[in-house]
């Protein structure tokens, strides 16, 4: 019996199984499948053993591509949500926190004995007189230093020591004022941290017993308070270290009660140092 099955022309038999890329044009028939760029289209009407029909092939590939696109979009969306959450968007607590640095660029201050108001001295060190420091004059370009001290000669022993530094005194080679200012802010902050560590070590020594150590709110950019009792002689020793813009300073306060000679309390020392530090901050320019 003669073979009546349809014959495949030679050129079609040699045609590759993945034909040239095609896509639906504006005039294509409604039944033609929609092709995504990059996906090859099987020839229409072609049926081979072991090869899925074109419609099924396109559907499977399209589903896979749509799944990849959808998954990528979901990943991007999740990433945006995570970033917004970490950055404190949407009224979170971190968005309401003040900046760590006020950005105030101080360059000068009055003479040392004028940094604290006479009324403040009278309130916390009655009868104390000021002794200026030989460093209270221009020494290094870009660095202002004030180191005055106050002490009493009465039965109530009170002493106040101030150590103020404005600027870094480091000559930089930054081409812009913005970069130069940022460098100064960073150096002053490093100096503040170094001074803070030094004070903590002093209050952890053999001659002073640390009784309190905590930050002080609303004084400069950062402020930390230390209070202890000195054993030789017995008196209250308190100190505050403050950072504000390009200025950092420490104020120490040593005092006893008049008559009894007992050390002043932590609350009294903290009130005194807070008032002294605020006077210094308002004097900077």
pLDDT digits (tens, 9 = 90+) for 61-70: 444 444 444 4
| DSSP code of residue 86 | H
- Residue at token pair 């092709």: 35
Q: What is the pLDDT of residue 102?
A: 63
Q: What is the pLDDT of residue 117?
A: 97
Contact 188, 218 (CB under 8 A): no
Going from N- to C-terminal start, the domains of the chain cover: 112-205+215-283
Q: What is the pLDDT of residue 47?
A: 46
Radius of gyration of the chain (CA): 39
Say which residue, 96 or 193, is predicted with more confidence: 193
Give the pLDDT confidence of 76-92 residue by residue, as tens digits: 344 433 333 333 433 33
| DSSP code of residue 90 | T
Q: What is the pLDDT of residue 97?
A: 34
Distance CA 29, CA 84 (A): 47
Contact 45, 68 (CB under 8 A): no
Mean pLDDT of 254-275: 90
| DSSP code of residue 142 | T
The whole-chain average pLDDT of the chain stands at 72
The winner for highest mean pLDDT among 11-20, 50-59, 192-201 is 192-201
Mean pLDDT of 166-182: 70
Q: How confident is the model at residue 185 (pLDDT cuts 50, 70, 90)?
A: confident
Q: What is the pLDDT of residue 129?
A: 94
Q: What is the pLDDT of residue 174?
A: 57
Separation in Å, CA 258 to CA 54, 118, 153, 275: 102, 20, 12, 20
Report CA torsion sign: 180, 185, 190, 195. positive
As a CATH number, domain 112-205+215-283 is 3.40.1000
**Two tokens, residue 206:** 């053999």
Distance CA 163, CA 284 (A): 13
This prediction's pTM: 0.62
Helix H or strand E encompassing 162: strand 158-166
**Two tokens, residue 98:** 């003040």
Q: What is the pLDDT of residue 173?
A: 57
């Amino acid at each position: 019996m003669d073979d009546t099955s349809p014959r495949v022309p030679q050129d079609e038999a040699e045609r590759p199984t993945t034909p040239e890329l095609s896509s639906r044009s504006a005039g294509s028939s409604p039944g033609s499948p929609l092709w995504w760029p990059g996906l090859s289209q099987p020839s229409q009407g072609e049926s081979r053993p072991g090869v899925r029909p074109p419609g099924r092939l396109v559907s499977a590939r399209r589903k896979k591509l749509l799944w990849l696109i959808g998954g990528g979009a979901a990943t991007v969306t999740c990433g945006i949500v995570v970033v917004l959450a970490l950055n404190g968007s949407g009224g979170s607590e971190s968005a309401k926190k003040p900046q760590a640095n006020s950005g105030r660029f101080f360059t000068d201050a009055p003479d040392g004995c004028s940094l604290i108001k006479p009324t403040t001295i009278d309130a916390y060190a009655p009868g104390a007189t000021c002794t200026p420091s030989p460093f209270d004059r221009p020494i290094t370009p870009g660095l202002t230093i004030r180191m005055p001290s106050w002490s009493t000669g009465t039965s109530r022993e009170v002493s106040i020591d101030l150590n103020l530094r404005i600027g870094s005194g480091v000559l930089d080679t930054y081409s812009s004022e913005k970069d130069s200012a940022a460098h100064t802010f960073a150096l002053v902050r490093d100096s503040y941290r170094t001074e803070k560590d030094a004070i903590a070590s002093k209050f952890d020594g053999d001659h002073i017993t640390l009784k309190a150590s905590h930050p002080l709110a609303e004084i400069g950019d950062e402020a930390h308070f230390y209070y202890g009792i000195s054993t030789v002689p017995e008196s209250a020793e308190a100190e505050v270290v403050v950072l504000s813009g390009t200025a950092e300073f420490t104020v120490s306060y040593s005092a006893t009660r008049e008559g009894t000679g007992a050390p002043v309390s932590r609350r009294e020392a903290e009130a005194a140092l807070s008032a002294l530090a605020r006077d210094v901050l308002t004097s900077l320019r």
